[in-house]
Every structure is written in structure tokens, then in C-alpha cells.
Amino acid sequence: MILTIYLIAITLISFLLFAVDKRKAIKHAYRIPESVLLLSAFLGGAFGSWMSMQLFHHKTQKPKFRILVPLAMVWTVGVLVWWLY
């Protein structure tokens, strides 16, 4: 139960971080560091990160994000499989 709540929370947080960063990019405001965005993905929020990237067309042209966010998705699934079995 706690794991489920954590994954839902980190997914929402990652989604919102990417959305906020996109909004800040449009307004030429102070941005969220890329390291924070990627860390949130690797802490379990990869699916939220990916959804936000697709929905807001944010960071989709950066090779670092095109490679690392899907890798974080694989990492998350791998950790979940390991944890549950």
C-alpha cells in the first residue's frame, strides 16, 4: 500500500515538475534544473515524466531526455519486479 501511494505521488510530482518547467521556459523565467527533472524520473516518476513530455512537448528534442526517461521507465519496472518477487 505504501509503495502504491509513493509511486502515485512521485509520478504526479514528476509530471508537475516537467509541466512547471515548460511554463517557465515559455515565460523565460528561472528553470528547474535538468538534474532535478531526471532525478524525479529515476526515483519512480518516469511514467509521469514521459506523459508530461508528450503532453507539453517539453524536452522531447533533447537526446538526454529521449534516452534517459525511457531508461528510467525500464529501471522503475525492474525495481518493481525485484521488489514484488
Give 12's contacts (C-beta < 8 A, 6+ positions apart).
Answer: 45, 48
Which domain range does residue 59 map to? 2-84
Single pTM value for the model: 0.93
List phi, psi (to 5°) of 62. -85, 120
CB 14 within 8 A of CB 40: yes
Q: What's the pLDDT score for residue 36?
A: 98
pLDDT above 90 (res 1):
no
pLDDT tens column, 26-45:
999 999 999 999 999 999 99
Number of domains in the chain: 1
pLDDT tens, 40-80?
Answer: 999 999 999 999 999 999 999 999 999 999 999 999 999 99
Residue linked to cell 514521459: 50
